[in-house]
Chains A and B, each alone.
Chain A
């Protein structure tokens, strides 16, 4: 009798293929690698934005990492998934032994691998070219939690739009969200420097708490439990809400 491969093998081969395909999408590499790197290097070098820190790189490194996470788990994932839905790729995979859960896990793993490369690259550039060093209160554990929960929130949001809108619409919406989070996500400018109404909105969106948690993790901002719990709780709410909503309304075809 024909049997399926083990779930571990199915996830591993799918993840490897996802990563191979990432390299064949130059537009996605531009958003996930080039833009965060340019943001970090350019604005750290010319210091034209109010960072609120002694050196711009201390503010911009966590911000550019957050931007990279948004680019990978929201923009790239949503556009890829929407076009896969449009081309019938999800339908075909749904007829194979690979389960939907295994496909989602494979996509999530490939997102995390790309993010690991992004973070490594951004930290290396900041340290080698911009004289950055982690603050005395830096915590790799907080960075890891920020990356994981932030990824969950933006993957949830990305799949929500990918599974409910047409591919062309997803392309537009994802890029608008990316630009929006670039401005109000605490990436380039601290949200307390934004006009009041905009700052209030920014504080409720998932980008600002992600940037904030990364600043705590890299030792740029405070270290108290409140500094971590507030943004972490908000990110977790976004992750749970978007995942639950996606599970309800995602259309595979």
Chain B
């Protein structure tokens, strides 16, 4: 996917972008390009600079240094013609008069465009039909507000959709509907930029990902490129957890093969889940694991090998920052 995207023109060009708030650097000279028609995701812990980047791309903020071109235009100086080409979803789906109904707000924004999507059809796609469409915005749940925000971003048939955490607060059904919409947008050739904390979704949807950390780009590439750079890993799940002595015995059995398993550690991840980090997943290693379990009548429910998931690569890159973030979400 990214290979074909490489030939396309840039929808967004960000060069040496820097922004400070009260002397505190939030962006420290980042550069990247979003190709026309690709789904590009910005990931990072809170405070990494994602929303600041997105708001500069949207034209809400001006950078202190560096340049941004969106569809060939400086977004901070763009007029109504440019804004008709770009659909925005603000964080939390907000920015809507609480007294307006869902149908009214989508209908209103539709009529700011010359050739909008049918609001009712769009509301059906985001899962807001019947009573929900007639409900005033203030009475909606967080997930429903997100769906309204998504509908507003798409109602003008944008060439570029910038979505700030589109699935935050959504239930499983909402996330599935959003994922399907994003896939539909990509098929229609719409360029999508999105931020998210849902790494599994991003890994499935995004063509390319930039991982931001403390105002810098820590990694940039396709999901395959990012995950293949992660340290090798074997992960397995047993029907029941092992005793401490069995876990040590398993590590010893894996070390016995002499094919790189010599330094094996078996880390317990909770329940029946274990991982063996830092080892190449050779056939011999997998066979010894299976054999050890078979001898003791231990059922392997799941066995996965490879470079790990995007989440694992993300944690590897961001390190303790994400853990700090989870402990203190207000950061």
Enumerate chain A interface residues (CB-CB to B < 8 A). Answer: 1-7, 9-10, 13-14, 17, 20-21, 24-25, 84, 87-89, 91-99, 253
CA distance A97 to B159 in the complex (A): 14
A-B contacts, CB under 8 A, total? 91
Q: Name which residue of chain A comes closest to B88, CB basis.
A: A95
Which A residues lie within 8 Å of B200 (CB)? none
Contact-residue size bin, chain B (C-beta under 8 Å from the other chain): 20 to 34
Task: Assess whether B81 is in contact with A14, with CB atoms less than 8 Å apart.
Answer: no
- If A3-B84, A96-B109 touch, whether A91 touches B79 (CB-CB below 8 Å) is no
Q: Give min CB distance, A162 to chain B, whole Å.
A: 15
Q: Name which residue of chain B comes closest to A253, CB basis.
A: B60
Which A residues lie within 8 Å of B60 (CB)? 91, 94-95, 253
Q: Name which residue of chain A comes closest to B137, CB basis.
A: A87
Verify if B100 is at the interface (C-beta below 8 Å from A): yes
The segment from B20-28, B110-118, B222-230, B317-325 that touches chain A is B110-118
Residue from A4, A87, A95 in contact with B113 in the complex, judged by beta carbons closer than 8 Å: A4
Which B residues lie within 8 Å of A21 (CB)? 97, 99-100
Which A residues lie within 8 Å of B159 (CB)? 1-2
Q: Give min CB distance, A165 to chain B, whole Å.
A: 20
Task: Assess whether B96 is in contact with A17, with CB atoms less than 8 Å apart.
Answer: no
Verify if B150 is at the interface (C-beta below 8 Å from A): no
Task: Assess whether B113 is in contact with A3, with CB atoms less than 8 Å apart.
Answer: yes
Q: Beyond the given A1-B159, A3-B114, A89-B96, please list 7 additional residue pairs across the A-B interface where CB-CB is below 8 A.
A: A3-B113, A6-B114, A17-B108, A20-B104, A84-B97, A95-B90, A253-B60
Task: Assess whether B85 is in contact with A2, with CB atoms less than 8 Å apart.
Answer: yes
CA distance A87 to B98 in the complex (A): 9
CA distance A68 to B104 in the complex (A): 29
Return 20 A-B CB contacts under 8 Å, by A number.
Answer: A3-B81, A3-B115, A5-B111, A6-B114, A13-B112, A14-B108, A20-B104, A21-B97, A88-B90, A92-B94, A92-B95, A94-B60, A95-B60, A95-B86, A95-B88, A96-B109, A97-B81, A97-B84, A98-B80, A253-B60
Verify if B156 is at the interface (C-beta below 8 Å from A): yes
CA distance A213 to B327 in the complex (A): 64
Task: Assess whether B80 is in contact with A4, with CB atoms less than 8 Å apart.
Answer: yes
CA distance A13 to B79 in the complex (A): 19
Verify if B203 is at the interface (C-beta below 8 Å from A): no
CA distance A87 to B86 in the complex (A): 22
Task: Assess whether B113 is in contact with A24, with CB atoms less than 8 Å apart.
Answer: no
Which 5 residue pairs across A and B have the least CB separation, nearest first? A92-B95, A88-B95, A4-B84, A3-B114, A97-B84
Max chain B Cβ within 10 angstroms of own Cβ: one of A4, A5, A96, A99: A96
CA distance A7 to B95 in the complex (A): 22
Verify if B152 is at the interface (C-beta below 8 Å from A): yes
Residue from B58, B59, B81, B95 in contact with A87 in the complex, judged by beta carbons closer than 8 Å: B95
Task: Assess whether A87 is in contact with B97, with CB atoms less than 8 Å apart.
Answer: yes
- If A21-B97, A89-B95 touch, whether A95 touches B112 (CB-CB below 8 Å) is no
- If A89-B96, A92-B94, A96-B112 touch, whether A2 touches B157 (CB-CB below 8 Å) is yes
Q: Give min CB distance, A7 to chain B, whole Å.
A: 8
Task: Assess whether A4 is in contact with B81, with CB atoms less than 8 Å apart.
Answer: yes
CA distance A216 to B114 in the complex (A): 46
Which A residues lie within 8 Å of B108 (CB)? 13-14, 17
Contact with A along B111-139 (1 / 0, CB 8 A): 11111000000000000000000000000
CA distance A196 to B133 in the complex (A): 59
CA distance A99 to B104 in the complex (A): 19
CA distance A84 to B97 in the complex (A): 7
- If A2-B156, A253-B60 touch, whether A98 touches B98 (CB-CB below 8 Å) is no
Contact with A along B54-89 (1 / 0, CB 8 A): 000011100000000000000000011101111010
Task: Assess whether A17 is in contact with B90, with CB atoms less than 8 Å apart.
Answer: no
Q: Name which residue of chain B comes closest to A16, CB basis.
A: B108
Task: Assess whether B111 is in contact with A9, with CB atoms less than 8 Å apart.
Answer: yes
Verify if B158 is at the interface (C-beta below 8 Å from A): yes
CA distance A88 to B237 in the complex (A): 47
- If A13-B108, A17-B108, A95-B59 touch, whether A2 touches B113 (CB-CB below 8 Å) is yes
Q: Name which residue of chain A comes closest to B104, CB basis.
A: A17
Task: Assess whether B80 is in contact with A24, with CB atoms less than 8 Å apart.
Answer: no
Task: Assess whether A95 is in contact with B83, with CB atoms less than 8 Å apart.
Answer: yes
Which A residues lie within 8 Å of B88 (CB)? 92, 95
CA distance A25 to B97 in the complex (A): 12
- If A4-B113, A98-B80 touch, whether A92 touches B99 (CB-CB below 8 Å) is no
- If A3-B114, A4-B114 touch, whether A24 touches B85 (CB-CB below 8 Å) is no
Which B residues lie within 8 Å of A6 (CB)? 114
- If A1-B85, A2-B115, A21-B100 touch, whether A97 touches B80 (CB-CB below 8 Å) is yes
Task: Assess whether A89 is in contact with B111, with CB atoms less than 8 Å apart.
Answer: no
Q: Name which residue of chain A comes closest to B115, CB basis.
A: A3
Q: Name which residue of chain B comes closest to A20, CB basis.
A: B104
